[in-house]
Amino acid sequence: MNKVFLTDSEIKENLFPFTLTRSAADIRIGILTIREKWEAYLGQPVSIKEDGQQVDENVIIVSANIIPSRQFVGSLFDNEGNISDSPDWNAVKVIQFPWHIFLWNDWAIRHDYELITANRQSAPLSSTVQTVNGINIFIEPGAKLSHCIINAEAGPVYIGKNAEIMEGAVIRGPFALCEGAIVKMGTTIYGATTVGPYSVVGGEIKNSVIFGNSNKAHGGYLGDSVLGEWCNLGAGTSNSNVKNNAGNIKIYNNILKEYVDSGLQKCGLMMGDYSRAAINTSFNTGTITGACVNVFGEGLMPKFIQSFTWGSKSNDRYEFDKALTDIGNWKKLKKASLTEPEKTRLKLIFDQNQSSR
């Protein structure tokens, strides 16, 4: 089979703020990232094509915002492993805007669940766990569940390796709790929701995707939203996901530098990596924050907050060295550290943002 490269050169700007710090191929939707899905279906490593990179003629280049399915990958190649003339485009979803991450998450969880659990046996459930349609629940080794309720009637529930669901949590599928992630006591989760690796969640969550190593660990509502990596929402923080008049939501477009009609009646918060919100923060409907934003202030937050902003209702800058120190402190809480490639990427974002202010 020909080698596959994923490219996001044409769609990267559309997926702001999540492509500030990663390729579109490394966006998590469902259980796996887009790159991980391709690798699992193909049974081989998949590379990211950098801008201007030359590749061999026999390499197949696929847009990184295409979410594959088994049916699509099967139709993509002919019997000799070459690209076919008629792939089944009805068997994929395409992320064209950041809100598509939560819009297509139900679809993605179902396909990932089938991919990951095929021909495998779930670890046993504790007798203290109350389930509905338990045959649609898969537990990886090392996961801990106690005195909680899981309803998989409306969609599958996947619990990753060494993840934990504490007592009193109530969960409806489709739902994915990735490796090492934690659902705290009394949490209420509606589908379709994904909690990424080593993230911690509490309060009420609905139809949201939380990338790895982020925290929404306390009371408050998160709905129809996406949180990047290394984010933190303080206790009592909530977002609006519906306008009071139930009208279409306008969302900031980083290419046009203006608000555009999304066509959505429901959209919450889309927060870039390394951003944080103080306790009791109130996010407006369809809010976007860039990367490395320290959000605090009274009343509803602005619907767009630039990267490296200190506060929310001023144009104060987050000093770069202080931002790195603060990120390092947050990483220590999860026994991690800020890497040199991360520092380089953050400096590039900081400098680009400085010139645009």
Q: Kindly report, residue by residue over 146-162, the tens digit of the pLDDT.
A: 999 999 999 999 999 99
- Give the model's pLDDT for residue 67: 96
The dihedrals phi and psi of 356, each to the nearest 5 degrees, come to -90, -10
pLDDT for 94 beyond 90: yes
Mean pLDDT score of the chain, rounded to an integer?
94
The distance between the two most distant Cα atoms of the chain, rounded to a whole number of Å, is 62
pLDDT for 59 beyond 90: no
- CA-to-CA dists, residue 167 to 145, 183, 189, 329, angstroms: 8, 9, 13, 29
What token pair was written down for 316? Answer: 């104060």
Q: How confident is the model at residue 170 (pLDDT cuts 50, 70, 90)?
A: very high
Taking only the tens place, the pLDDT of each residue in 243-285 is 999 999 999 999 999 999 999 999 999 999 999 999 999 999 9
- In one-letter notation, the amino acid at residue 306 is Q
The dihedrals phi and psi of 13, each to the nearest 5 degrees, come to -65, -30
92 neighbors 108 (Cβ within 8 angstroms): no
Q: How confident is the model at residue 83 (pLDDT cuts 50, 70, 90)?
A: confident
Closest CA to 187 of 229, 235, 220: 220
pLDDT for 81 beyond 70: no
Q: How confident is the model at residue 314 (pLDDT cuts 50, 70, 90)?
A: low
pLDDT for 79 beyond 90: no
- Give the model's pLDDT for residue 176: 98
Q: How confident is the model at residue 331 (pLDDT cuts 50, 70, 90)?
A: very high
Distance CA 209, CA 321 (A): 30
Task: Locate CATH 2.160.10.10 in the chain.
Answer: 113-323
Q: Which of 2-6, 42-46, 200-204 has the highest mean pLDDT?
A: 200-204
Q: Are strands 250-253 and 276-277 parallel, antiparallel or unpaired?
A: unpaired
- Give the model's pLDDT for residue 357: 60
User: What CATH number matches the domain at 113-323, 2.40.37.10, 2.160.10.10, 2.40.50.220, 3.40.630.30?
Assistant: 2.160.10.10
Contacts with 289 (C-beta within 8 Å, 6 or more apart), sequence order: 17, 269, 270, 271, 272, 275, 295, 304, 305, 309
Mean pLDDT across 306-310: 94
Mean pLDDT across 11-25: 95
Taking only the tens place, the pLDDT of each residue in 198-236 is 999 999 999 999 999 999 999 999 999 999 999 999 999
Which strand (E) or helix (H) includes residue 305?
A: strand 304-305
- Give the model's pLDDT for residue 86: 84
Sheet with 164-165: list strands edge to edge. 144-145, 164-165, 182-183, 200-201, 215-216, 232-233, 276-277, 294-295
Taking only the tens place, the pLDDT of each residue in 118-156 is 999 999 999 999 999 999 999 999 999 999 999 999 999
Mean pLDDT across 167-190: 98
